[in-house]
Structure 1
Amino acid sequence: MALHQVAVEAAAERAYSPAVSEVELFCPVEAVALALGVHRATVYRAAAELRALGMVHHRAHYTTHRGRTRADGAVWAVRLRPVGGRAARLSYGFLKRAHRNLSGDVERGRTVWAAMRQSKKIPSKGVDLSFIRRWALSPTEQTPVTPDCRTSARRSLEALLDVQHAARKERSAAVELAAEALAAALRDRGGVMFYRRLLWQLLRRADATGAAPFGMVYEQARRAAADVAEGYGRRPGAVFVSRLKRAGWWREVMAAPPVRVGVRPVEA
Structure 2
Amino acid sequence: MREQTQFQSGFPGPETQVALVAIQNLQAKNPVLAQRALKALAARYGLTTEALLEVLGGMDTFPVPVSLPRPAPSDPDAFAPTSPAPVVLAPAPALSPPLPRELPPTREELAQSPPLPAAVPQSPLAVADRLLARGEAESTLPSLSERAFQVYRMLLALGVAWLRRTLGGRQPPRSLSQLTVFVPNDALMAALGIPSASLYRALGELKEKGLITRGAWRTAATLRGKSGVYAAGTLYGVRLPHRARRPRLEREDFAHPWRDLEGDVGRGKTAWRALRESKENPLRRDAEVLEFLLSFALPPGEAKNPLAIDSLTALLQARPADRRRQVEELALGLAKEFKDPGSVKFYAWVLWNALRAEIYGMREGALALVEWAIARVREALAASLMGSRKEGIRRPGALLAHLLKEQGLLSLLRQAPQWRVA
Q: With the length of structure 1 as denominator, give the TM-score of the two structures.
A: 0.48
Greater C-alpha radius of gyration: 2
Q: With the length of structure 2 as denominator, give the TM-score of the two structures.
A: 0.31
Structure possessing the higher relative contact order (Cα contacts under 8 Å, 6 or more residues apart): 1
